[in-house]
Structure 1
Amino acid sequence: MSIEILTLLFFGSLLFFLLLGLPLAFVLGGVSVIFLYFTWGFDSFYMVASQIWGTMGSFTLVAIPLFVFMAMILERTGVARDLYKMMHLWFGGLRGGLAIGTLAICAVFAAMVGISGAAVVAMGTIALPSMLERGYDKRMALGVINTGGGWGILIPPSILMILYALITGVSVGKMFAAGILPGVLLMVLTTLYIVIRCALQPELAPALPKEERASWGEKLRAVRAVLLPIGVVVMVLGSIMGGITTPTEAAAMGVLGALISAAVYGELKWPVMQEAAIRTFKLTGMIMWILFAAHAFSAAYQSMGAQALIEGLMAMIPGGPWGIIISMMLITFLLGMVLDPVGIMMITLPVFIPIVQSLGFDPIWFGILFVINMEIGYMTPPFGFNLFYLKGVVPPSISMNDIYKSIIPFVLVEIVGLALIMIFPEIATYLPDLFF
């Protein structure tokens, strides 16, 4: 059977079972195993088992449950509430100040938890009612929370970056370092958008009345709220960048920081620890199945010889190497609208990464572009996860249509940031080169 027919049958089978609503990890792993058997016979299963055994022995893998546990603990502390109070006092006197402050909190949260969704739920619960009460346009408020909440997978530590490193073989530390400046860039671009939009349309995000603004004494006292989050961030990122710990050891330090935070806020209780541990076990178990499916897919894909077919198709794309990279970004963007980011990684990375490397592009730089696309996927309809996290905490007066419409300008801002990183790769590669 020709490679073209095998490829059509393979991806057609994946699409068919996904449309039936079956879990992606089991569809991808199951279809891959079946195709492996009919392509190479029973002995091909040893190849998959060998790859999985090698991955299970990876020290880096330990970082995933540690970062997840850290995120689950921090979710239950009062960190987000105190951060919002501080940002309210410092930025409330500006037009759009509460929106800018919310973005800053989301960035801090992203640097602590490593997953998307935590900041969306926290800010949807705390910041959204405050902004609506003070006359903010609901779409502006929703868009800010949705955008900032997605930074959890870009600003390190990031679970998605760890998975990218495991699948592609790049350094986790380099991926973490590469995510810092792009995260800052997206925050600056989004802040500029809010400032300019509020200058042109002041009614969208009015400043607080003078009687509600804080004195300098109140502002300085409120700064204490950021000391604990900054301490956690320094424990994790500072130890990695300073060469003191590996990313896995830094994850353990992050758990220690989260436990200290919980103790300070009086939340270090058995029910909290139990719930965090159970949720960590569930999420880690899912990730293990995803890694199994990724290895099975990679083995099936390679055994069919589809690499040459894909490379031939990519060579037909106009625009040379950059045309291929842009096509990959477009494919990833479209997949992000309908699939889970981890599933997209499993399907695309075994295909994309060999081509990216053969074209002479840096896989770390490509990884940041990929993660930003996944972040955009979290906030784009119809199936962006952040949209549904947000719907779960908004007042009944806000419809799903409002949430969908709110993200349009913010997605455009993110795409501008993506384009800038493509044009100026140093934004992503400068810190990895400096620290490693």
Structure 2
Amino acid sequence: MDWLYPFSLMVGLILFFMGVGLPVAFAFFVTNIIALFLFFGGSVGVSQMISNFSAAVGTFALAPLPLFLIMGSLFFRSGLGDGVMHALDLCIGSLRARLSYVVLAAGAVFSALSGSSLANTGMMGSLMVPEMLNRGYKPKMAFGPILGAGSLAVIIPPSSLGVLLGSLAQIDVGALLIAGALPGLLLACMFAGLIFVQTLIDPEAAPQYDMAPVPLLAKIRAVSVNVVPMGVIIFLVVGTIILGIATPTESAALGCLGVVLLLFAYRRFSFRLVWDSLDDAMKVTGMTFLIISASTTFSQVFAFSGASNGFINYLLSMNPGPYLFLFLMVVTVLILGAFMDQVSMMLITLPLFIPIAHTMHFDPVWFGLILLLSYEVGFTTPPFGLLLFVMLGVAPQGTTLKTVAFSALPFIACTLLLIVLIVAFPQIALFLPNLFN
């Protein structure tokens, strides 16, 4: 049990520093420095950590991350999403819970244009929550679909979290992004089925009201003007990867170019918009790269101290079997998701999970997608799910965390059901990567 001391020390320090409010990157840096002096030769180890920084963030697999962030920021800041919502609203018509379905459809489209769950939820929440509540929707039918639709960006490509996971876990980023397309659409359909069941059980949760008939020509025009051009952007980002025309980095650059051309076409281009979008991407990318630099050293010291090998060998000696291993890993992520953000969870768990996955001979893309779905649940897990607080920020004054959290629970259950389906039927995740390999 020699591994238990470094394991307990390093994991305990990380959790302690995060618990007292230290930013994630600095919590890892302080833990690294303490561990380097204890297990890695002190100042020699610190010098090695500094020299590792450029190698940690200089990997080509991380290049799509800032480009996807720029693309999403340009899309949301320009207001292009408003037209998409309007067109979908016209097409869905007077169906009961119409606005819930509009939110869900728009969330799927926006996920393929931004890769950011926080941006999706914030935009749809600010636009749709007041309208839905004014029309008599109960909170569960207003908050729940927006939280569910917002979380789709975790797995529907281009997923910023998927790019980060693929880079850190050394999984083919292109294959991981492609793998999320089919499960993402399946999850959106499951959410639609959930909304339908909720309205059957409680018809008053989303009152039905008549709409003025919209001519078919007007619907076609709205879709042609507002949705079809976004489909071109989705093809530039997702389709080029699937068809093998472009790498994830090249597709991200094509997506940025496509959004800029749309801004010119819709006469919404401005240098101020570009500057603000670059500023958004720079802040997120800078902090992400800082975290990656710290986590790389953490993984190295964790392995050098014998903590990771000792922990893995200890678990293997119990001979629990691959599916029990997988169950325990998912449960661990779900528990951590109640207390920390997705990047923090990823940095703490991957040094432990990836060696175990290799030992169990899990397909890396399949396993990576299961982890992404588990991290997605963490976005809406009370009491600290980030999307819950985004929703509270746009909800009417007096809305409680309990109300928002209970609205999210049925959608969390759908995501957990999808994880079970992917475990039982791996081809849900692997069909597209294998088809276009």
- TM bucket normalised to smaller: over 0.9
- Would the alpha carbon gap of residues 138 and 317 (structure 1) be closer, same or farther in structure 2, given more than 3 Å must change? farther
Output one character per residue of 1:147-196: Cα deviation in whole Å (capped at 9) or x when no partner. Answer: 11111121011111111111111111101111101101111111111112
| Counterpart residue number, 2:57 | 56
Cα distance in 1 for residues equivalent to 2:6 and 2:245: 49
Deviations 1:357-410 (A, max 9, x none): 110111111111111111111112111111111112222253333212211111
Aligned AA (2:231): I
**CA distance in structure 2 between the partners assigned to 1:123 and 1:342 by the alignment:** 23
Distance in 2 (alpha carbons) for counterparts of 1:33 and 1:203: 58
Q: Structure 2 CA distance, aligned partners of 1:135 and 1:152?
A: 28
1:21 Cα deviation after fit = 0.6
Q: Residue in 2 aligned with 1:26?
A: 26
Q: Identify the residue that residue 116 of structure 1 maps to in structure 2.
A: 117
- Structure 2 residue identity aligned to 1:34: I
Give the partner amino acid of 2:124.
Answer: M
SS of 1:309's equivalent? helix
Runs of at least 5 residues in structure 2 that lack an aligned partner in the other structure: none
Q: Alpha-carbon deviations, 1:223-279, whole Å to 9, x = none?
A: 121012111101111111121111101111111112123223333112211211112
What letter is aligned with 1:6?
Answer: P
- Structure-2 residue corresponding to 1:190: 191
Distance 1:131 1:265 in 2: 28
Superposition pairs of residues 242-391 of structure 1, within 5 angstroms: 242-315=243-316, 319-391=320-392
Corresponding residue number in structure 2 for 1:36: 36
Whole-angstrom distance in 2 between the partners of 1:137 and 1:274: 39
The equivalent of 1:3 in structure 2 is: 3
**Distance apart, 1:298 and its partner CA:** 0.5
8 Å CA contact 1:111–1:152 kept in 2: the answer is: yes
**Hey, what's the Cα distance between the residues in 1 that align with 2:318 and 2:231?**
46
Q: Would the alpha carbon gap of residues 396 and 264 (structure 1) be closer, same or farther in structure 2, given more than 3 Å must change?
A: farther
**Could you say what the CA RMSD is over the residues aligned between the two structures, in angstroms?**
1.8
| Structure 1 position 308, deviation (Å) | 2.7
Please say if 1:215 is aligned against 2:215. yes
Return 162-171 or 396-405, whichever deviates more. 396-405
Q: CA deviation at 1:45?
A: 4.0
Aligned to 1:77: 78
- Residue in structure 2 matched with residue 226 of structure 1 by the alignment: 227
Structure 1 length as normaliser, TM-score?
A: 0.95
Q: Secondary structure at the match of 2:151?
A: helix
- Separation in 2, partners of 1:146, 1:195: 16
Moved more, 331-340 or 302-311: 302-311
Give the C-alpha shift of residue 16 in structure 1.
1.8
Aligned partner of 2:361: which letter?
G
Distance in 2, Cα, partners of 1:351 & 1:71: 32
Structure 2 letter corresponding to 1:214: V
CA displacement, residues 90-148 of structure 1 (integer Å, 9 cap, x when unaligned):
22311222212211100110001011111111111222222223222221110000111
Partner AA of 1:39 in structure 2: F
Q: Give the match's secondary structure for 2:63.
A: helix
Letter in structure 2 aligned against 1:253: L
User: Contact between 1:178 and 1:429, CA under 8 Å: does it hold in 2?
Assistant: yes
3-state SS of the aligned residue for 1:392? Answer: helix
Tell me, in whole angstroms, the C-alpha distance in 2 between the residues paired with 1:61 and 1:420.
30
Tell me, in whole angstroms, the C-alpha distance in 2 between the residues paired with 1:57 and 1:408.
Answer: 39
Answer whether contact 1:93 1:213 (CA < 8 A) is retained.
no
User: 1:156 is paired with a residue of what secondary structure?
Assistant: coil
* Cα deviation, residue 82, structure 1: 1.1
Out of 89-98 and 211-220, give the one that drifted further: 211-220
Supply the distance in 2 between the matched residues of 1:109 and 1:321 (Cα, whole angstroms): 36
Please give the alpha-carbon distance, in whole angstroms, between the structure 2 residues aligned to 1:130 and 1:58.
45
C-alpha distance in 2, partners of 1:213/1:306? 66
Verify the 8 A CA contact 2:162 2:372 in the aligned structure 1. Answer: yes
Deviates most, 356-365 or 24-33 = 24-33
* Partners of 1:5 and 1:125 in 2: CA distance: 48
Distance, in Å, in 1 between the alignment partners of 2:282 and 2:142 is 34
Q: Determine the C-alpha separation between the residues in 1 that align with 2:204 and 2:261.
A: 42
Distance 1:85 1:319, change over 3 A: same
Deviation per CA, 1:4-49: give whole Å up to 9, x if none: 1222222222222112110111111221232123212033345545
Contact 1:317 1:323 survives alignment (8 Å): no
Whole-angstrom CA distance in 2 between matches of 1:13 and 1:123: 38
The one-letter code of the counterpart of 1:84 is M
The unaligned stretches of length 5 or more in structure 1 are none
Residue type of the alignment partner of 1:26:
F
Identity of aligned residues (%): 34
Q: Secondary structure at the match of 1:231?
A: helix
Contact kept in structure 1, 2:125 and 2:394, CA below 8 Å: yes
* Aligned residues between the structures: 435
| Residue number in structure 1 paired with 2:69 | 68
Q: Is the 8 A contact 1:33 1:296 kept in 2?
A: no
Per the alignment, residue 419 of structure 2 pairs with 418
Question: Could you tell me which residue of structure 2 aligns to residue 142 of structure 1?
Answer: 143
Deviation string, structure 1 residues 394-435 (Cα, Å, up to 9, x no partner): 222533332122111111111111111111111111111111
Asked if structure 1 preserves the Cα contact closer than 8 Å seen for 2:303 and 2:309, the reply is no
Please give the alpha-carbon distance, in whole angstroms, between the structure 2 residues aligned to 1:356 and 1:46: 31
1:395 corresponds to which residue? 396
CA distance in 2, matches of 1:92, 1:133: 18
Check conservation: 1:77, 1:265, Cα contact below 8 A.
Answer: no
Q: State the secondary structure of the residue aligned to 1:165.
A: helix
Distance 2:207 2:219 in 1: 20
Measured in 2, the distance between the counterparts of 1:317 and 1:398 equals 47
Preserved CA contact (<8 Å) 2:92 2:98:
yes
- What residue number does 1:91 align with? 92
